[in-house]
Amino acid sequence: MKDASETSVLFNASCPVCNFEIRHYERYAAANGLPIRFDDLNSDMLGRWGLDADTAARRLYVLKDGALTSGIPAFLVLWADMPRYRWLARIVGLPGVRQIASAVYDRVLAPVIYHWHLRRLRRHTAAVQG
């Protein structure tokens, strides 16, 4: 990967929900000169992450200082690197709040978004074959 001080984000740009949220962060980072790189898992950048596409599509991944995080811990790393969102990282990172946010993300949000992703893939495959 790149410089250890850079934060790198792996996300699914073909997911409307993921793309909307992460592109917002990407525009904010660019406008403020923040050292955050955003990689679409549907590009050749996926190979740099050591993850397969299916694993990467299941949740958000962030690499910072050589540590790979995913899910809510990944959001906390990303938000902490963006001045506008540091307050959110502090709140969601609080004991109790973090556990609840992680449970909701892991058991509800990420699985629902991943299943939408699989449905889009099936529809695309059917359209190409049909």
C-alpha–C-alpha distance, residues 6 and 90, integer Å: 20
pLDDT in tens, 49-63: 999 999 999 999 999
C-alpha–C-alpha distance, residues 3 and 114, integer Å: 30
State residue 128's pLDDT score: 83
What angle (nearest 5°) sits at the alpha carbon of residue 43, between those of residues 40 and 49? Answer: 70
SS3 category, 57 = helix
Mean predicted confidence (pLDDT) in 13-36 = 96
**Global pTM exceeds 0.85:** yes
22-26, 120-124, 125-129: range with lowest mean pLDDT? 125-129
C-alpha–C-alpha distance, residues 69 and 130, integer Å: 39
Inform me whether the pLDDT recorded for 5 exceeds 80: no
C-alpha–C-alpha distance, residues 12 and 18, integer Å: 6
C-alpha–C-alpha distance, residues 63 and 84, integer Å: 20
C-alpha–C-alpha distance, residues 19 and 110, integer Å: 14
